Structure 1
Amino acid sequence: MASQRPDGVAPVKQLPGGPGAGQLFRGFLWLGLTGFGGVLPQAQRMIVEKRRWLTTEEFVDLLAVCQFLPGGNVLNLAASLGARSRGFAGALAALAGLLAAPSIFVVALGACYQEFEGSAEVRGAVLGLAAAGTGLLVATAFKIARALPRRWAPLCVAAACCAAVAVLGCPLIVVLPVLTAVSLLLNRRVPR
């Protein structure tokens, strides 16, 4: 059990049954090696379905917090899950695992792309990867939506966000706080 620190800040609660630092590193290293175009779908599959580190509901709750924080959602998710399981060492292990292989790969791929960027085949391959990544993201969104309680409220807020940003051209920095307030109000008023 976590104790109060001398500076009065409560430390992150560590879960004794959660994954160890080595497991976190290996799991997120594999995720970094196998994912492309955003690894949220693979992260959900690894964390919830394969390794059972979190339930679907816990994953959705943690992801909701991570999406609101600045930075990449999956980076925030890795750090949060690592900290939840093994404190600072767990967060560091998860982040190191997630970033190690992709960092090397991106540098190498960038050098190759610079060499062949004018090729029609390379442009076609990049468009194909973008389409596959989009499909994975949509599939994960549907999986997550099934786990949401009172599905209509979160889906309406998500649709309003898409419409405001994509159709009306409103800046995300304005839309996010407004829809966060709306979401909180809906969450309080909608019966469970």
Structure 2
Amino acid sequence: MATNSDLHNGSLRQIIVIEHDTQAEADNGLRHLARRGQAVRLVRPYLGEPLPMLDDRIAGVIIKGGPQYVTDLDRFPYLRDEMSFADGVMKRGVPLLGICLGAQMIARHLGALVGFHPQGHVAFGYYPMAATQAGADFIPDGMMTLSGNAQGFECPADAELLATGPLFANQAFRYGTSTVAVQFHPEVTRVILDQ
């Protein structure tokens, strides 16, 4: 994995990972990137860290989950900045992955409704996913996924719904050729879940 000095002097292409809370250990996504030798730059806007400039050094962006709500932008104004950043990422065609809160921000930015479950349900635990026809090559039908969310999203216009679930219907979508958003948490380790 690259050093911080390599990342900041611009000598390597990097994957930007935007976090929204402190985790007990590196998650499965960060471990996956490290095994592949990817340079990763963690950015924590909730701690006041600025988002990077969009340039050719950014190979991809992951916007992770967190305890914040997209519907509470006045309380978490940095989420607006993140949505603007995601817009620039999508316009440049840079690969973008949104996980839970990150997926909700992408959906909201694309004009879809994001909000609490109409009956007040909260997803916490493992739930089966059902792949749509568009998502059959992306998500194995019946795959069990970890969820931890009180809000969900509508599928944005011009996006392809990839998977549905029993509690929050929309679980994954693809927008264009380089943006994927998932409501569930493929990155969480047992230690993070216990945390």
Q: Whose relative contact order is higher, 1 or 2, with alpha carbons under 8 Å and at least 6 apart?
A: 1
| TM-score computed with the length of structure 1 as normaliser | 0.26
Bigger proportion of residues as strand: 2
